[in-house]
Structure 1
Amino acid sequence: MTVSRWSTPAQCQSWEMWDGQECICAPGFFGEECQSLSYSFPLDVPNVINATVTVIVKVIHRNFTPDLNNVSSQTYQDFTKEFKQRMDQVYGGDDLTAYREVIIRNLLNGSIVVDNDVVLEVNYTPEYQQVFSNLSKIVRSKIMNETSVVANDIPKCQDSILCYNGEATRVNDTVKLGVNFQEQCTQRAAKDFAKYYYVDEVDGKLACVTRCTPGTKSQLNCNLGQCRLQRSGPRCLCPNTDTHWYWGETCEHSTNKSLVYGIVGGVLAVLLLLVIVLIIFLGRSQRKLHRQEYDVSQEWQKEGIPGTFQNMGFWEDKNLQGDRYGRENVYSHFRPSLGSLHIQRPEVVTGVP
């Protein structure tokens, strides 16, 4: 838990307690206003680490009795004592100095099936996981050698020695550590971000880290960007410099600003040129249309045809001759149109001599 001084409750962003003078930051946060995430913090590592390897063996030529289900019965205590003494002999030796004891988890029917844990203990080293992995292989080798021996003296198997069914022997390759560093890491990490923290070695020491922690094996490479832990996970924040834009999941791509500006300027110039050409083309089309209309209106004058045109009036139906209102209505809606009018050129007929 981090203490932040010179803050007020209104300023503390992620806090658990205000004592009137300072803000107590929640686990995983730090800063004057508890606004920053801790991307790594050391773990409490014991000097000695223990682990267990689960082993199942089947003791034959022995009868399973109900007393073996009762840990307080004399039958149970006698059998477990005999089994542990034999396992001390099997696992003991200079090649397995990490061996400490065997813990019997359960006895099951089937002759007598013994579910037990082999306890190992070593001094802490950064390579502790590899150390226990190697020790588990030694445990497997020893118990397989012990249970593969064929029992020839059945009376002794029933009384004074342990005999086994080698084919039923099982060794769990997963080593169970006595200390859970990942649980410690999760408890001390920021609440909403705990799932992104994991155990790794930093500067030779065990620590709780994220992919944004510098110096870790699985650090997220953001190239020229910065790694930031968000509620959605580690993300790269790409920079925006005077000359380049950077983008991509890890800021692996870049674009030159001058190039972009040049392309945009070229496109705008082309568009402007197209607009100018279009305006010129439309202007010429309009002038050509007006010229054609003017030529048609002057055609009759150019012909020089003799004679005159007279207004002969409009033909009126008999029903309209006495109807002043009807004539006015017709004349008021009359609109001359030359769209479909065809006028035959008048011919000059000379008199017969």
Structure 2
Amino acid sequence: MDSLPPQPRVSTHDGSPSQLWSHALVFKTRSTVGPSFTSLHTTSATTSSSSLPPVVCYNGGEWNGKECACPQGYFGYQCQSLLYSFPIEIPEVINATVTVIVKVIHRNFTQDLNNVSSPAYQNFSALFKQQMDKVYMGNDLSEYREVIIRKLLNGSIVVESDVVLEAGYTSEYQTLFSNLKNIVMAKIKNETSVIPTNISKCQDSVLCYNGEATVVDGTVKLGFDPQEQCARGAARGYAQFYYVDELDGRLACVTKCTPGTKSQLNCNLGECQLQHSGPHCLCPNTDTHWYWGETCESSLSKNLVYGIVGAVVAVLLVIMVILTVFLGRSQRKLHRREYDPSREWQREGIPGTFQNSGVWEDRTLREDKFGLENGYSHFRPSLEKVDPAAELHIQKPEVVTTTL
């Protein structure tokens, strides 16, 4: 018994990646064709101890006192991991059948021919098989084994039979049996196309045929169906995702998540995982990049994102500082305008305030910048040093009257 290297981690039933690593045990069986067949049985590397309490076995697994006995298609300590590949049991020889229908003429169908135990059926069957052996045997069809009668029908005698072929396994076995079917067709067509000349012999010692009624089924029924093995060996609910492919030079049931196959799903830096909806790529999230897409084909550098975000934040901070400065200046200007005491004296119509009654000037002096009008209009008294608490004493005016 040989040991293969550890296989990559595989999928769990709930879609989360399993951290278990598996090893493969190789069992060799003899085969007459090609190298010895290697059967790959995957077992979990996680060891169990009889001292451990019973654990929950998932996906139909059962605790046998030492470990979980996993159902077909699963492995692992708790039967949570899916097998992504398993070998196909290849027989040493492959059987195939070709259905042939011929019409025997110059003989009458009787009810005894419906009873396989009757002498009439036994005699006719022996004569038909003997004649078919002569037709099919030969160096060009060494794979021929026998003819099996399936039905005898009325219409003279219509015989439905299977021509049994047998050949050693090769990777091109389907092409081989397709070619053998063509040989069978050519032989039976040649035999049934002969026009009988002695009718009495056709009724007694030989069988004569109607060549136009000869039918050869174009489908070869193979006794070996690897796809059926894949369906039987896959975990329940996942059979549709397994198919036949070559893995390490031999036939195996694989999925698109099986490494080393021609049709393996390329997830780039991601990991292929088989889920109930089919194979999917799980994209990684590394220290430097984010990955996404159906096959993790798209990526984005984290440093680039962080740099762009930092630059945007810095620009926003600068804009906020500038806006704060301008807002502060505008507030100060607005405050000065609202509380400028020098404007109070210019208000007219308020008792106790100054009133600009205008200054008379000649027309030639009004447009002079040094004129009195311009001077008074730009006059601003400075009240900063005026003490508003100081008392101002004004002598009471006296009324002086004069007599004329």
Decide: shared fold, TM above 0.5.
Answer: yes
Aligned pairs for 1:234-249 (under 5 A) are 234-249=279-294
Compare 165-174 and 284-293 and name the one that shifted more: 284-293
The 8 Å contact of residues 57 and 164 in structure 1, kept in 2 or not, is answered as: yes
Over 3 Å counting, the alpha-carbon distance change for 1:273 and 1:116 in structure 2 is farther
> Quick one: which of 150, 160, 172 aligns to 1:127?
172
How big is the shift at 1:274?
7.7
Match of 2:157 in 1: 112
How big is the shift at 1:117?
0.9
Match of 1:48 in 2: 93
Code of the residue aligned with 2:251 in structure 1: it is L
How big is the shift at 1:272?
6.7
How big is the shift at 1:104?
0.9
Aligned pairs for 1:50-69 (under 5 A) are 50-69=95-114
Over 3 Å counting, the alpha-carbon distance change for 1:142 and 1:260 in structure 2 is farther
Match of 2:245 in 1: 200
The 8 Å contact of residues 61 and 154 in structure 1, kept in 2 or not, is answered as: yes
> Quick one: which of 209, 231, 252 aligns to 2:254?
209
How big is the shift at 1:135?
1.7
Aligned pairs for 1:18-167 (under 5 A) are 18-167=63-212
Compare 16-25 and 80-89 and name the one that shifted more: 16-25
Match of 2:213 in 1: 168
Q: Deviations over 1:61-112 (max 9, x none)?
A: 3322222211122222222222211211111111111110011111122222
SS at match of 2:61: strand
Match of 1:221 in 2: 266
SS at match of 1:26: coil
SS at match of 2:194: coil
Over 3 Å counting, the alpha-carbon distance change for 1:159 and 1:239 in structure 2 is same
Q: Deviations over 1:151-171 (max 9, x none)?
A: 454444344433333333222
How big is the shift at 1:207?
2.4
Structure having the larger proportion of residues in helix:
1
1:188 matches 2:233: yes
Code of the residue aligned with 1:5 in structure 2: it is S
Over 3 Å counting, the alpha-carbon distance change for 1:176 and 1:283 in structure 2 is farther
The 8 Å contact of residues 55 and 170 in structure 1, kept in 2 or not, is answered as: yes
Unaligned runs of 5+ in 1: 307-353
How big is the shift at 1:131?
2.1
Distance 2:330 2:192 in 1: 105
- Aligned-pair identity in percent equals 66
Over 3 Å counting, the alpha-carbon distance change for 1:111 and 1:256 in structure 2 is farther
Distance 1:108 1:170 in 2: 14
How big is the shift at 1:264?
4.7
Distance 2:92 2:62 in 1: 33
Unaligned runs of 5+ in 2: 1-40, 350-354, 358-404
Higher relative contact order (CA 8 A, sep 6+): 1
Code of the residue aligned with 1:44 in structure 2: it is E
Code of the residue aligned with 1:87 in structure 2: it is M
- Normalising by structure 2, we get a TM-score of 0.63
The 8 Å contact of residues 8 and 22 in structure 1, kept in 2 or not, is answered as: no
What value does the CA root-mean-square deviation take over the aligned residues? 3.6
The 8 Å contact of residues 67 and 77 in structure 2, kept in 1 or not, is answered as: no
Code of the residue aligned with 2:233 in structure 1: it is R
1:5 matches 2:57: no
Distance 2:356 2:150 in 1: 131
Q: Deviations over 1:193-248 (max 9, x none)?
A: 23322333322333222222222233222222221111222211122233332222
- Normalising by structure 1, we get a TM-score of 0.71
How big is the shift at 1:142?
1.9
Distance 2:218 2:305 in 1: 58
Distance 2:326 2:200 in 1: 117
SS at match of 2:112: helix
Distance 1:171 1:292 in 2: 111
The 8 Å contact of residues 213 and 219 in structure 1, kept in 2 or not, is answered as: yes
How big is the shift at 1:8?
4.3
Over 3 Å counting, the alpha-carbon distance change for 1:263 and 1:80 in structure 2 is farther
Over 3 Å counting, the alpha-carbon distance change for 1:224 and 1:167 in structure 2 is farther
SS at match of 2:238: helix
Over 3 Å counting, the alpha-carbon distance change for 1:29 and 1:301 in structure 2 is same
How many pairs does the alignment contain? 305
Compare 188-197 and 89-98 and name the one that shifted more: 188-197
How big is the shift at 1:132?
1.9
1:231 matches 2:248: no
Q: Deviations over 1:125-148 (max 9, x none)?
A: 333223222222222222222233
SS at match of 1:191: coil
Distance 1:280 1:64 in 2: 114
The 8 Å contact of residues 53 and 119 in structure 1, kept in 2 or not, is answered as: yes
How big is the shift at 1:278?
8.3
SS at match of 2:180: helix
